[in-house]
Amino acid sequence: MKDAILRALDPAEYALTSSSFEDLDHRTVVVTKWDWDYQLAHGFQRRALELVQQTPQLRILLCCSHPEVLTYGRGLQRPRKGESLDLVDFDVKAHAHLPYPFHQIERGGGLTFHHPGQFVFYPVLKLNPSALSLSRMIDEIFDFSIEVLRDWGIEGLHHQHKLLGLWHQDRKVASMGIAIEKLTTFHGMALNLRENSEMIRAISTLNPCGLTAETYTAVENLLQVPPAAHEKFRAEFLQRIKHEWK
């Protein structure tokens, strides 16, 4: 599958090389790029979306990080009937005064932030209600993350919270925002492996995902992260996908 994708596009157009691509199994290609310009990564997601829609058995999984950037989706999570979420929305008209580049995009959710200390995972794949539904995909992305981080020594992570995300007690470790076109997903999870205290201070009044910036924490605040944490997390996370997503 990797070779077919490389024949269908020019990796250099997205600041990639052929070594950025690898086959995970007979239908799944992983694309890895750390500190990837957000606009280039978004453009690649759109191209990957086309390829998956043309070949529904294909899955393209992006593992990356981005320079400091803010993105805004289709709007904040809506409360269920009888529920109050107490979220503070972001005024999109104020984007010209933001301290970082800003992109309004297709995914669900409100304002969020990216920086090089995150592990970002974008699954571009065709949903199948009987095999891999949207809810199962989201749950398993979080579950696989919990399993990897438990192996590293972190207990108490969960995603059974009224607000979508990966949580440790009342602090948010990862955010999730998905877009779907023709039953094909893109966008995904941003997991905070390392803290970016400068960015947190800069966005302290912006309420990412409707929450105070101080709600967010990082893996390195819960334990000493291993060397090459991005690569280590990626390898262990993908092993679980390879085993579970047939």
CA distance 47 to 41: 10
Is 64 labeled as catalytic in the residue annotation? Answer: no
Helix 229-244 and helix 134-152, axial crossing angle in degrees, nearest 10: 130
Tracing tokens 């602090």 back to the chain, one arrives at 171
Q: Which regions of the chain does DSSP assign to beta strands (E)?
A: 21-23, 28-33, 59-64, 69-75, 102-104, 109-114, 118-124, 157-158, 166-168, 171-181, 184-192
Instruction: Give the long-range contacts of residues 195-204, CB within 8 A, separation 24 or more.
Output: 195/117, 195/220, 195/221, 196/68, 196/115, 196/116, 196/117, 199/68, 199/100, 199/113, 199/115, 202/99, 202/100, 203/70, 203/99, 203/100, 203/113
Select which of 60, 203, 209, 225 is catalytic. 209
> Which amino acids are annotated catalytic?
209
